[in-house]
Amino acid sequence: MSRIGKKAVELPSGVTASVSGQSIEVKGPKGTRSFTATDDVTITVEENLVKVDPRGKSKRARQQWGMSRTMVQNLVTGVTQGFKKELEIQGVGYRAQMQGNTLKLNLGYSHDVDVVAPEGVTITAPKQTEIVVEGNDQQLVGEVAAKIRDWRRPEPYKGKGIRYKGEFIFRKEGKKK
């Protein structure tokens, strides 16, 4: 039995869910999100609860059961609260600034790095050393934050680079004479 799958997803006030076949669409104050489940699970909506049940006792059905329930929960969270990733920039001369829909990064390269926010994601730079990526799609927000971080990953000697807020960077000791 899936411990996660057994729990029903509660729909807060202002959020509606509709099921057609294997796809579920959730509407809320921050937009509309949808998810198509595999044929191994059944999704049902009862009043303000969404239940996911396996079709059969196969291993794949049990795997999809918990995963599908979590995906539905992420849809509900996305349309109510949204998702947010915060990044910090450390290093002399490294900075970020917004110009319209484009994030301009100075990361020690001979050129500025331009990151265009995809549709459904908003990027802000409240300070020159902070970047905030927000949206209602958890996967897309994480992907955009990871792509920004990949431009200058934190290095282990001085810790310079772009890191997630609160991320611990394992530091190495330098050469000794």
The Cα 44–Cα 144 span in angstroms is 32
The Cα 165–Cα 162 span in angstroms is 9
Q: What pLDDT was estimated at residue 47? A: 87
The residue type of 149 is R
Q: What pLDDT was estimated at residue 174? A: 86
Q: What pLDDT was estimated at residue 83? A: 95
| Structural tokens at position 98 | 């917004």
Output phi, psi for 19, to 5 deg.
-110, 135
The Cα 15–Cα 68 span in angstroms is 19
pLDDT digits (tens, 9 = 90+) for 61-89: 999 999 999 999 999 999 999 999 999 99
| Structural tokens at position 69 | 């329930």
80 backbone φψ class: left, alpha, beta (φ>0; ψ -120 to 50): alpha
List the domains of the chain with CATH numbers: 3-80 (3.90.930.12), 83-164 (3.90.930.12)
What are the helix (H) ranges across 7-166?
A: 59-80, 138-150
Q: What pLDDT was estimated at residue 140? A: 95
The angle subtended at Cα 163 by Cα 160 and Cα 164, nearest 5°, is 160
The angle subtended at Cα 62 by Cα 1 and Cα 70, nearest 5°, is 90
Q: What pLDDT was estimated at residue 1? A: 65
Q: State which residues of the chain have pLDDT below 50.
A: none
